[in-house]
Amino acid sequence: QKEVEQNSGPLSVPEGAIASLNCTYSDRGSQSFFWYRQYSGKSPELIMFIYSNGDKEDGRFTAQLNKASQYVSLLIRDSQPSDSATYLCAVTGGSYIPTFGRGTSLIVHP
Amino acid sequence: DVKVTQSSRYLVKRTGEKVFLECVQDMDHENMFWYRQDPGLGLRLIYFSYDVKMKEKGDIPEGYSVSREKKERFSLILESASTNQTSMYLCASSSGADQPQHFGDGTRLSIL
């Protein structure tokens, strides 16, 4: 059974701080890694994806992948109250079906 | 931009009714998925399809069926609705294995 683990939170950070969200996965054959943001009552929307070890930056967001340790993280710099949401990590290993974590709730307080 | 459209945002049905949830995508994606999402349980895959007329069971297919007669449309059918099928239903599509999924807005279904 492929598993993706995330701390459910909530993770609470002050406005302007760096929020660090972590995800571990069990399948060593995993190849693609995705972060989705989901606001309450809304559907998930893709924020970032990463395929290779290392860092990938997009604006205030940085995804970090370490395949040897089987974890992927998402850093949000200069966190804003509008970043308050649940962040879902998803992992695929070459099949059509991603495995989703249950998500981490992030609260950015003014 | 990929557009995945679900036919209803909110739906209320009675137990025992046959319920149809429709999903259409406009990007010629091969793969389409149906999930349900419940508090504390995360996203659970009901069915997916990797081609027209092809379907595979996900983790929780019991009480559901699907239809994919055209590439752009994937329908979820609740054969005889029950109260434990009250949930948020999410449709998604992707262009291939290891590609990101694009979600519709979701249908919040209540079975009374």
Per-residue pLDDT tens digits of chain B, which is 112 residues long: 779 999 999 999 999 999 999 999 999 999 999 999 999 889 999 999 999 989 999 999 999 999 999 999 999 999 999 999 999 999 999 998 788 999 999 999 999 9
A44 touches chain B (CB under 8 A): yes
Nearest to B35 by CA among A100, A39, A40: A100
A89-105 pLDDT per residue, tens: 999 986 778 999 999 99
Mean pLDDT (whole number) for A79-90: 97
- Percent of chain A with pLDDT strictly greater than 90: 86
Which residue shows structure tokens 């679900």?
Answer: B6
A58-71 pLDDT per residue, tens: 999 999 999 999 99
A32 touches chain B (CB under 8 A): yes
Q: Are strands B10-13 and B107-111 parallel, antiparallel or unpaired?
A: parallel
Q: Do A96 and B104 touch (CB under 8 A)?
A: no
Mean pLDDT (whole number) for A4-15: 95
Contact of B19 with B77, CB cutoff 8 Å: yes
Q: Do B101 and A31 touch (CB under 8 A)?
A: no
Contact of A65 with A33, CB cutoff 8 Å: yes
Q: Are strands B73-78 and B19-25 parallel, antiparallel or unpaired?
A: antiparallel
Which residue shows structure tokens 């308050």?
Answer: A84
Cα–Cα distances (Å) from B76 to A100, B23, B61, in that order, read: 21, 8, 10
In Å, how far from its chain's centre is CA B79? 14
Instruction: Write the residue in B50, B90, B104 that is nearest to A96 by C-beta.
Output: B50
Contact of B70 with B60, CB cutoff 8 Å: no
Q: What share of chain A is helix, strand, coil (3-state, %, to 5)?
A: 5, 55, 45
Which 8-state DSSP code applies to residue B85? G
